[in-house]
Structure 1
Amino acid sequence: MQTIVREAQGRLKIGRPVAIIDIGSNSVRLVAYEGLARALTPIYNEKVLCGLGRHVATTGRLDEDAVDRALRALARFRVLCDTMQVSDVFVLATAAARDATNGPAFLEAAAEACGRPISLLSGGEEARFSALGIVAGFHEPDGIVGDMGGGSLELVDVKGATVGKGITMALGGLALQDVSGGSLKKAQKIVCAALERAPEYLENLKGRTFYAVGGTWRALARLHQAATDYPLHVMHSYILNPKDGLDFLHLVEEADAKTLKDIESISEARRPLLAYGAIVLEEIIRLGEPKEVAISAFGVREGVLFDKLDPDTRRRDPLLAAASDLNLLRSRSPRHGEELCEWTEAFMRSLGIAETENETRLRRAACLLADIGWRAHPDYRGEQSLNLIAYGAFAGLDHPGRAYLALSIFFRHEGLSPDKVGSRIRNLAGPRYLERARLLAALMRVAYPVSVSMEGILPQAPLRVRGKQVVLQLPLHLQDLANERLAGRMKALGKLLGMEPVIEIER
């Protein structure tokens, strides 16, 4: 009789879940993660749009109805965390609770409702954690982080893992709506005056990336994707061209929100704030002249958890960490994925193709992800792998890189013809990544008939370029692998490279 294992096999053995409860000026959110790790994987995410900061700028107090909604949400979150057996719950409060005269009383009631102590972040701490969220979520970031919440806007410089001193301004969506009396023209004047008092941040932004953090800016990016018919509905690392962005932001400011394409995907409570978020972002682009705007799904919450990692873990590449986790959870032999990295690396050296540092990490990630679709029906392994990768919760990965990874594994299963996949994802990858994806897939299509995804085989069967030939060397005890199937895969690789394919048996 088969033994039934009751413990979840699709979870990493990294301890119990951890969670963040973020008491913001607009929303109160719970995010629970699988565990404290370099590649954070959410297992539950829920928010309640309470609007705590809606009238703080003019009345100085948290709205009583908003307080009641927030306390009910926090009580629910306490039960959810207990149900998930969360080991550590970090509860954060930001601008609204910081600025309101009844903030201390609210925090006392909130701590009782959620059953945990609450950390009230200063503006400087909020900026620092936002920047650490960008360090956690992007590969070698370089620019200015802007975190726009309901009550405030934080700006902070980040380069690599180095975070500068941040500044906080009362330019959150709810705060602007409040002090401007609902006038967008007045709000624009307030934004311009405030940003002109922070010239060092905008001067340092020129020609660099602006990392846009916050729900309002993510909502704007979602609408921009809909307006441009963008093929990949993933917010993290979505790039907004500043010139195109200015035209779109101006449209948002001028238009009735109900007329915007895909507006139904934005909650009704957030829609009135879109114009204020557009005003702030437009002025940052106009005054700072960034080369691009990168939308971030990472922010304060991820920054707080990143700060709790040990130094060695913080230095890990987030993309490779996530790919390693999926390799462990979903492949037939995790060690084989690691060997595939080294096997393809040796081939690339023999071929003499120069890889950038980023291209090397992408190739390695693809090798670790190469076998995650094996449980699917054979006719759909390529399609399922493409979807898992293109829409996966990866950090440290831009959208062309996502397309490259997805295409590599798709072609590995479906064959090397570009016509087998839609033009939209091919265009997203671009010509260079498309050809690199086909090459890597061709290598994988040679590797798997040799190794059948088992460890220890690929190191015995090196693939090398020798003059005008591409040569696969098999040891004598593996000579029977050299059948028509393997010869056909070698022929396809040779055709792609313009070389003669050769299978050698070592005597």
Structure 2
Amino acid sequence: MPAVVAELEQATRSPVRMCVIDLGTNSFHAVIVDALPGTFRVVDRFKEMVRLGEEGLQGQRLSEAAMQRAIRALRRIRQLAEGWGATEFLACATSAIREAENGGELLQRIRSEVGLHVRVIDGLQEARLIYKGVRRAVPMPEPVLIMDVGGGSVEFIVGTSQQPLHLFSLKLGAARMTRRFVRHDPATREELKALRAFYREQLHPVFEAARAHGVREVVGSSGAMENLASVCARMRGEVARSIYEQPFPAEDFRRVARRIMRLSREQRRRLRGIDPKRVDQIVAAAALIDVVLKDLAIERVRISPHALREGLVVDFVERNAPLLARLTAFADVRRRSIYEMGWRFDWEYRHAQQVAALALQLFDATQSLHGLGHVDRELLEYAALLHDIGYHISHRSHHKHGLYLIKHADLRGFTSEEIAVLANVVRYHRGSLPKPTHADYMALSEENRVRVCKLAALLRLAEGLDRSHNQNVRTLHVRLESDRLVLHLETRGDPELEVWGVRRSAELFEQTFGRTVEVSATAEPPLLEETAGA
């Protein structure tokens, strides 16, 4: 009966469903996507207005109220994403968290209370990711100026579809500028004059770069730009078309911006197209947009449906193309999670596959002896696949390191009990036998300790059958007798190492099942000369 080891083949691919979250100063944006090698498909989008700086950033600290809003919002986002079946989460934090003295405290709370690891990116990284997102959605044959107006910072990118030419991240966000310059409702002429003068001073390097490349078009990729575009579309009678499908004359856009700057808060709140939660900050954003359009003599404005979060997906797909090509072969979340962990920790793939195939053959041949079910068979296969991942930490005691990695790997689709069994089976694939002094083993129920012993006994034999790590066993014959387990190996080369490996690994099997293990082998004759044309 052959122990076949082959690459997994499936006619169809199953995408990796992931949730990408942009933790901005004003709002948290999430997008659910199905990621495939080289591409992705958007499944759903949602937004939570958090306004991390609503109470102000006195002393550059986030308020307790703001942090609680952030935690609640991320819990809702995670719940929605899991409802969509998302198995991967990618979250990044920008200006407000990046600059806050207690930003690290918030990140720790998110990790412990929500279970999300948040990556903090700097301004230029943010600009580069925004560019990647916009480039996927908007054709840019000629140089354009991409603007992403956030609450804390504004990212500017001069570039084409081929490459970003200049990247800028300036602390000119709408929330920040509102707190600094706008004190009255509506904003006074003096406030607006001071605000515009400050913008011009700070934007000098952006203007130089844009003029050097003859920029005549702005592409907006933020909520503020979308709000102005929505008002502009209504003013022009173009409500039937999406704001992402129509170019806007810059003069029409400026007319909307100047109108917004003159309105009171209550008037802005009633203006269709303005998000009620942006009413307080839209004046500062409108002033910035007006300055850019005027001073650069911009002719046209377009709006991108993609921004930072889509850029994160594009970046993930680009950087992880080989991994995605492997993972999308698996529709089952448990199997995908196991293989992902193996690749993450640089497993020896061929050896892991060989040991898994041999372990399953032993399991099936000894079914009447161990009496375990299909879930145990699955756990044995996964333990065999992961049995050597502890090498990622150290060759010495790698079986113990393997237990630790599996316990803390957040494997998806498994119960905590299954993870504990899996980790302990890996722990006992070599080294000492289970003992009452081993804390992780004794933490199991009595039933699960028996399962671990049975599965680990089979895994030890399977690992011994590939002791050379060369997949030398071509065929394994298994015969279960009343007092012994008889194994006969047909090998591709000298079988001595595999025979020694089985004999050395038999103790747990013999102790657990009360049967001796006998092993013999037949090797194929060596190839004495190379066949012509081989």
- Report the CA distance between 1:147 and its aligned residue: 1.0
Is 1:255 the counterpart of 2:263? The answer is yes
- Report the CA distance between 1:35 and its aligned residue: 3.3
What is the alpha-carbon distance in structure 1 between the residues aligned to residue 209 and residue 99 of structure 2? 24
Cα deviations across residues 364-417 of structure 1 (Å, max 9, x unaligned)? xxxxxxxxxxxxxxxxxxxxxxxxxxxxxxxxxxxxxxxxxxxxxxxxxxxxxx
- Alignment correspondent of 1:149: 150
- Alignment correspondent of 1:118: 118
- Report the CA distance between 1:32 and its aligned residue: 0.8
- Alignment correspondent of 2:107: 107
What is the alpha-carbon distance in structure 1 between the residues aligned to residue 237 and residue 39 of structure 2? 30
What is the alpha-carbon distance in structure 1 between the residues aligned to residue 204 and residue 278 of structure 2? 27
- Report the CA distance between 1:217 and its aligned residue: 1.1
- Report the CA distance between 1:232 and its aligned residue: 3.1
What is the alpha-carbon distance in structure 2 between the residues aligned to residue 93 and residue 79 of structure 1? 19
Cα deviations across residues 472-497 of structure 1 (Å, max 9, x unaligned)? xxxxxxxxxxxxxxxxxxxxxxxxxx
Cα deviations across residues 39-96 of structure 1 (Å, max 9, x unaligned)? 6543232211111134556541123212111111112222233332213211010000
What is the alpha-carbon distance in structure 1 between the residues aligned to residue 317 and residue 16 of structure 2? 15
Query: Secondary structure at the residue paired with 2:177?
Result: helix
> Could you tell me the percent identity over the aligned residues?
21
Counterpart amino acid of residue 272 in structure 1: D
In structure 2, do the counterparts of structure 1 residues 233 and 257 end up closer, same or farther at CA, with 3 Å as the change threshold? farther
Is 1:308 the counterpart of 2:309? The answer is no
What is the alpha-carbon distance in structure 2 between the residues aligned to residue 37 and residue 239 of structure 1? 32
What is the alpha-carbon distance in structure 1 between the residues aligned to residue 269 and residue 49 of structure 2? 22
TM-score normalised per structure 1:
0.55
Cα deviations across residues 321-377 of structure 1 (Å, max 9, x unaligned)? xxxxxxxxxxxxxxxxxxxxxxxxxxxxxxxxxxxxxxxxxxxxxxxxxxxxxxxxx
Asked if the contact 1:52–1:96 (Cα under 8 Å) also holds between the matched residues in 2, the reply is yes
Structure 1 gap ranges (5+): 1-11, 314-507
Asked if the contact 2:74–2:114 (Cα under 8 Å) also holds between the matched residues in 1, the reply is yes
- Alignment correspondent of 2:286: 278
Residues 78-117 of structure 1 correspond to what in structure 2 (within 5 A)?
Answer: 78-117=78-117
In structure 2, do the counterparts of structure 1 residues 264 and 39 end up closer, same or farther at CA, with 3 Å as the change threshold? farther
- Alignment correspondent of 2:211: 203
- Report the CA distance between 1:311 and its aligned residue: 9.3
Cα deviations across residues 251-285 of structure 1 (Å, max 9, x unaligned)? 11112354469735533221122211111111111
- Alignment correspondent of 2:28: 28
What is the alpha-carbon distance in structure 2 between the residues aligned to residue 25 and residue 300 of structure 1? 13
- Alignment correspondent of 2:220: 212
Asked if the contact 1:156–1:201 (Cα under 8 Å) also holds between the matched residues in 2, the reply is no
What is the alpha-carbon distance in structure 2 between the residues aligned to residue 154 and residue 49 of structure 1? 20
In structure 2, do the counterparts of structure 1 residues 42 and 269 end up closer, same or farther at CA, with 3 Å as the change threshold? same
Asked if the contact 1:55–1:61 (Cα under 8 Å) also holds between the matched residues in 2, the reply is no
Cα deviations across residues 278-325 of structure 1 (Å, max 9, x unaligned)? 111111112222231111121111111112334999xxxxxxxxxxxx
- Alignment correspondent of 2:137: 137
Q: CA RMSD in A?
A: 2.6
- Alignment correspondent of 2:298: 290
- Alignment correspondent of 2:195: 187
Counterpart amino acid of residue 177 in structure 2: L
In structure 2, do the counterparts of structure 1 residues 105 and 33 end up closer, same or farther at CA, with 3 Å as the change threshold? same
User: Which of the pair has more CA radius of gyration?
Assistant: 2
Moved more, 108-117 or 122-131: 108-117
Query: Secondary structure at the residue paired with 2:21?
Result: strand
What is the alpha-carbon distance in structure 1 between the residues aligned to residue 281 and residue 36 of structure 2? 33
Asked if the contact 1:20–1:89 (Cα under 8 Å) also holds between the matched residues in 2, the reply is yes
- Alignment correspondent of 1:175: 176
Counterpart amino acid of residue 289 in structure 1: A
- Report the CA distance between 1:212 and its aligned residue: 1.0
Query: Secondary structure at the residue paired with 1:101?
Result: coil
Query: Secondary structure at the residue paired with 1:236?
Result: coil
What is the alpha-carbon distance in structure 1 between the residues aligned to residue 151 and residue 37 of structure 2? 29
In structure 2, do the counterparts of structure 1 residues 257 and 153 end up closer, same or farther at CA, with 3 Å as the change threshold? same
Query: Secondary structure at the residue paired with 2:291?
Result: helix
Query: Secondary structure at the residue paired with 1:62?
Result: coil
What is the alpha-carbon distance in structure 2 between the residues aligned to residue 171 and residue 250 of structure 1? 18
Asked if the contact 1:207–1:291 (Cα under 8 Å) also holds between the matched residues in 2, the reply is no
Moved more, 13-22 or 274-283: 13-22
- Alignment correspondent of 1:393: none
- Alignment correspondent of 1:127: 127
What is the alpha-carbon distance in structure 2 between the residues aligned to residue 72 and residue 208 of structure 1? 42
What is the alpha-carbon distance in structure 2 between the residues aligned to residue 57 and residue 238 of structure 1? 38
- Alignment correspondent of 1:341: none
What is the alpha-carbon distance in structure 2 between the residues aligned to residue 99 and residue 163 of structure 1? 25
- Report the CA distance between 1:38 and its aligned residue: 6.2
Cα deviations across residues 418-450 of structure 1 (Å, max 9, x unaligned)? xxxxxxxxxxxxxxxxxxxxxxxxxxxxxxxxx
- Alignment correspondent of 1:72: 72
- Alignment correspondent of 2:165: 164
